[in-house]
Structure 1
Amino acid sequence: MLTEIVLPGVVEPEDLRVHHRPMPSPGPGQALVRVEATGVSFAEQQMRRGRYYDQPAYPFVPGYDLVGTVTGTGTGVDPALRGTRVAAVTKIGGWSSHAVLDTGDLVPVPDGVSAVQAETVVVNGITAWQMLHRLARVRSGQTVLVLGANGGVGSILTQLARLAGATVIGSAAPRHHDALRAAGVVPVDYRGDVSAQVRAVAPDGVDAVFDHVGGPGLTGSWQLLRKGGTLVSYGSASTRDDTGSKQLPMLKLLARLWTWHLLPNGRRAYFYNFWGGVRRLDRFRARLHADLTAVLTAMAAGEVTATVAAELPLTSAAEAMRLAESRTVAGKVVLVP
């Protein structure tokens, strides 16, 4: 039997449902994957509130990504794929003991990288890599600001930026500052005057800001850029608990970024959309495969390390959700079926 976690509607974490159903069979071009690790990201937190801008209708199984081992293959798939550990972006459906996936969505995990380690850098790693290298195009010698540097995406961003030769300033609560310093990051207190703290380190501003907060503070991020700098917004955590339209905050954010981007002042502003930028599925898959492979290769080489906030059983999804939403942990909360 397959075990999965169902989100029935806008509910508290304790109302997530554990569901069992018969094991599915892979169809043509598909593989059956035994899930070894999946995670709790900001997307699932928003989906629980009915606030994720393009989530499906309830009920559904959450889970934006997963890592597991191929146990079965459909017609047209090389049987040698069985036994291979793979990672995949699912958007939904990852909170399950097994998943049927198109083989084109599977990315091999290098030897020496555990399922839990790999899980921390699937969506988070792809997001960090693409923002850093495809949008901001950060180069050695530049200075960047990462908001939420202790978080799932932030912790990967700081490591990749350091690997690229950049000086990294990271905002976080003071309890995380020692860990950031040990990682070579200059910490600033997100509860204080972030702009003043950053200017004390980089008086002329920074070359890139990675902002997941949105809201009124986005203007401060834009103003911290030096000429030629890039603001990359990739979320609106400040509106997480808002009610009303889930599209309106995003539309306002996009309008502001687009206006700034068009200003003739040598600075750029982007909103990172994981699913945007590539209209053809084959190109999207190729880009995703290349970028995740780059991050996993860096992890296998010891250049990127996993930051696991907690590792909990799949059936403890409610506890995992509460912990992820508490904003008290560093790294990613991982579910293990």
Structure 2
Amino acid sequence: MRGDKCVEVVLPGKVEPEGLELRSVPVPVPSAGQVVVGMEATGVSFAEQQMRRGRYYDQPAFPFVPGYDLVGTVLAAGPGIGSELVGKRVAALTKTGGWASHVVLDAADVVGVPDGVGAAEAETAVVNGITAWQMLHRKAKVRSGATVLVHGANGGVGSVLVQLAIAAGAKVIGTASARHHEGLRALGVIPVDYRNENVPARVRELAPGGVDAVFDHIGGRSVHDSWGLLARGGTLVSYGSAATRDDEGSGSLPVFKLLGRVWLWNWLPNCRSAYFYNVWAGRAYAKDRFRARLRADLTQVFAALDRGDLTARIAAEIPLARAAEAMRLAESGTVAGKVVLVP
């Protein structure tokens, strides 16, 4: 097995990025039904930014190894797993544990990566890709000719979402700061400057009859505005509370507020619908179904990446040992795409 030590990044508590700790531990040994994956790329997502503040709504107790997803090569397989999986490049959704050189996973949770897709490129499409695909196709069910609004169109999820929506034949309006507008226009997105424009007013100019779907990761006031921008029969998909990232207090409260609003809006007779999207929904009570759906959808995302419908948006590739630098960069709001950690 590659190396005799596993290097991992530990989040010891509520710390600044520089408080992340690097430690060396024995390489894990797979049990029955498991594999050990040698990490080739893992990412810095909004979840880790919330976790270091103690504000991710179901994060584990400190200390723990963060890392929401990863791509790597299977180095060893436990009893019951065929040897043909060893040497294959795979991806996995982990929630935690991905920021390590070696990660032990249930073999049923890994998804093959096409030969033509590199590790860092695939990494940009794991949690971001599955989130975007399922919100677009399973929740909003966007079809050709629809008009959609994507908040944070330059971000990790947003940059994948706008490309998948365009590939589906939708007209896309995307909010971002002005520095990202040229890149968004190149993708076919109509950009709106959320810093210097009245977003609801501008979107109404672009879509007087309302939009067919809004994808909102901001929460707070934004989710109310998003609901008001929907056309008859439109769908709001809320999937985060970025507006509360730096708040103090409970990390669960903003999520519960969003869930309450979604419930209320769906209860009212208004010819519109709302969802709060959670990538882990269903895993606790229907694990096999969850795994089958994730495998099918992530395979679709990788296929889009392989044929060019989706272009990997890599903001930077930074060594795992410099995770603090990567976290700072991801939190800066100055980059487009995903910050990727590599061995």
TM-score tier by shorter-chain length is over 0.9
Deviation at 1:153, TM superposition (A): 0.2
Deviation at 1:201, TM superposition (A): 1.0
Deviation at 1:277, TM superposition (A): 3.9
Q: Which residue of 1 aligns with 2:292?
A: 286
Deviation at 1:45, TM superposition (A): 0.4
1:195-237 CA distance string (max 9 Å, x none): 1111111111100000000001211100000000000000000
Deviation at 1:309, TM superposition (A): 0.7
Q: Which residue of 1 aligns with 2:263?
A: 258
Q: How do 1:308-327 residues align onto structure 2 when only pairs under 5 Å count?
A: 308-327=314-333
Q: How do 1:204-223 residues align onto structure 2 when only pairs under 5 Å count?
A: 204-223=209-228
| Counterparts of 2:171 and 2:109, CA distance in 1 | 34
Q: Does the residue aligned with 1:260 lie in a helix, a strand or coil?
A: helix
Deviation at 1:254, TM superposition (A): 1.1
Moved more, 260-269 or 234-243: 260-269
| Counterparts of 1:83 and 1:222, CA distance in 2 | 47
| Counterparts of 1:43 and 1:221, CA distance in 2 | 22
Contact (CA 8 Å) 2:133, 2:301: kept in 1 or not? Answer: yes
| Counterparts of 1:179 and 1:96, CA distance in 2 | 32
Q: Which residue of 1 aligns with 2:339?
A: 333
Q: Which residue of 2 aligns with 1:58?
A: 62
State TM-score, norm by structure 2. 0.97
Q: CA RMSD in A?
A: 0.7
| Counterparts of 1:302 and 1:49, CA distance in 2 | 37
Q: Which residue of 2 aligns with 1:120?
A: 124
1:24 pairs with 2:28: yes
Q: Does the residue aligned with 2:212 lie in a helix, a strand or coil?
A: strand
Contact (CA 8 Å) 2:217, 2:240: kept in 1 or not? Answer: yes
Runs of 4+ more than 2 Å apart: none
Match among 101, 105, 128 for residue 101 of structure 1: 105
Contact (CA 8 Å) 2:216, 2:222: kept in 1 or not? Answer: no
1:215-267 CA distance string (max 9 Å, x none): 01211100000000000000000000000122211111111111111111100
Residue type of the alignment partner of 1:320: A
Residue type of the alignment partner of 1:276: A
Residue type of the alignment partner of 1:292: L
1:276 pairs with 2:284: no
| Counterparts of 1:218 and 1:6, CA distance in 2 | 34
1:240 pairs with 2:245: yes
| Counterparts of 1:96 and 1:131, CA distance in 2 | 29
| Counterparts of 1:85 and 1:245, CA distance in 2 | 38
State TM-score, norm by structure 1. 0.99
Q: Does the residue aligned with 1:86 lie in a helix, a strand or coil?
A: strand
Deviation at 1:137, TM superposition (A): 0.2
Q: Does the residue aligned with 2:192 lie in a helix, a strand or coil?
A: strand
1:35-73 CA distance string (max 9 Å, x none): 000000000000000000000000000000000000111
| Counterparts of 1:18 and 1:71, CA distance in 2 | 22
1:42 pairs with 2:46: yes
Q: Does the residue aligned with 2:91 lie in a helix, a strand or coil?
A: strand
Query: Gaps spanning 5+ residues in structure 1: where?
Result: none
1:202 pairs with 2:195: no
1:155 pairs with 2:189: no
Q: Which residue of 2 aligns with 1:6?
A: 10
Residue type of the alignment partner of 1:137: K
| Counterparts of 1:245 and 1:51, CA distance in 2 | 7
1:138-176 CA distance string (max 9 Å, x none): 000000000000000000000000011000000000110
| Counterparts of 1:81 and 1:274, CA distance in 2 | 26
| Counterparts of 1:135 and 1:249, CA distance in 2 | 21
| Counterparts of 1:49 and 1:296, CA distance in 2 | 32
Query: Gaps spanning 5+ residues in structure 2: where?
Result: none
Same amino acid, percent of matched pairs? 68
Q: Does the residue aligned with 2:74 lie in a helix, a strand or coil?
A: strand
Residue type of the alignment partner of 2:293: R
Q: Which residue of 2 aligns with 1:307?
A: 313
| Counterparts of 2:183 and 2:221, CA distance in 1 | 28
| Counterparts of 1:198 and 1:116, CA distance in 2 | 34
| Counterparts of 1:217 and 1:25, CA distance in 2 | 46
| Counterparts of 2:254 and 2:180, CA distance in 1 | 29
